[in-house]
Amino acid sequence: MNDGRTYPLNKTDEQWRAELSTQEYEVLRQAGTERPGVGEYTDTKTQGVYSCRACGAELFRSDTKFDSHCGWPSFYAPLAEDRVEYIEDRSMGAKRVEVRCANCGSHLGHVFEGEGYDVPTDQRYCINSISLRLEPATE
């Protein structure tokens, strides 16, 4: 996934391989996708902040998570626009928009628009659970 882009947190491929599990590396650093319905956050209702599993940057809040029934966690907006990066993706034969962590460049998932979900932005950030870590809100 080294496409020449630079990020605030820049590590070598060897460093990422040492820090991430095989499955995490495949999704976060090689733009893989976990199977639908298997991720730990697909159906969770826990309140808190979702961070990048690779670098810890805060990306999404639970109050923007919604049930899309697509098999992956869905959000209608990132925590802030500067937290994520958008990359045109034509790898599956159609134009899609990849979502990456703006801090380390790790692959998170894709964002889709105009699907008709009843959310404020009409967007669905379809994010791999394995790309995230949930920090539950404290009471």
Which active-site residues does the annotation give?
A: 126
CB proximity list for 27: less than 8 A, separation 6 or greater: 33, 34, 107, 128, 130, 131
Helix (H) or strand (E) holding 125: strand 123-127
What is the sign, positive or negative, of the torsion defined by CA atoms of 65, 66, 71, 77? negative
Helix (H) or strand (E) holding 15: helix 13-19
